[in-house]
Amino acid sequence: MRTSPRLSLNNGVLIDQLGFGLYKVPAAEAEGLVATALAAGYRHFDTAAMYGNETGVARGISSQLDAGSGSGGSGELFPPLSREDVFVTTKVWNDHHGFDATLRAFDDSMVNLGLDYVDMYLIHWPCPRRGLFTETYRALETLYREGRVRAIGVSNFQPAHLDRLLAGAEVVPAVNQIELHPWLQQEELRSKHADLGIRTEAWSPLGRGQVLADPVIQACAAEHGRTPAQVILRWHMQLGNIAIPKASSEARIRENLDVFNFELSARDMAAINALDRGQRTGSHPDNVN
Ligand SMILES: NC(=O)C1=CN([C@@H]2O[C@H](COP(=O)(O)OP(=O)(O)OC[C@H]3O[C@@H](n4cnc5c(N)ncnc54)[C@H](OP(=O)(O)O)[C@@H]3O)[C@@H](O)[C@H]2O)C=CC1
Ligand SMILES: O=C(O)C(=O)[C@@H](O)[C@H](O)C(=O)CO
> Residues 135-172: pLDDT tens digits?
999 999 999 999 999 999 999 999 999 999 999 999 99
User: Which residues fall within 8 angstroms of residue 261, CB to CB, at 6 or more apart?
Assistant: none
Q: What is the number of the ligand 1 atom nearest to the C-alpha of 181?
A: 17
What letter represents residue 69's amino acid?
Answer: S
124 is in an annotated binding site: yes
- Closest ligand to Cα 254: 1
Contact 169, 196 (CB under 8 A): no
User: Which residues fall within 8 angstroms of residue 135, CB to CB, at 6 or more apart?
Assistant: 97, 98, 99
pTM recorded for the entire structure: 0.96
Contact 140, 174 (CB under 8 A): no
Interface predicted TM-score of the whole assembly (ipTM), two decimals = 0.98
Contact 189, 159 (CB under 8 A): yes
Tell whether ligand 1 has an atom less than 6 A from the beta carbon of residue 283.
no
What's the pLDDT tens digit per position in 45-57?
999 999 999 999 9
Contact 262, 224 (CB under 8 A): yes
Contact 125, 94 (CB under 8 A): yes
pLDDT value for 66: 72
Question: What are the residue ranges in the chain where pLDDT is below 50?
Answer: 69, 72-73
- Ligand 2, CB cutoff 6 Å, lining residues: 23, 48, 124, 282-283
In the chain the domains, ranked by start, together with CATH numbers, are: 6-209+241-247 (3.20.20.100)
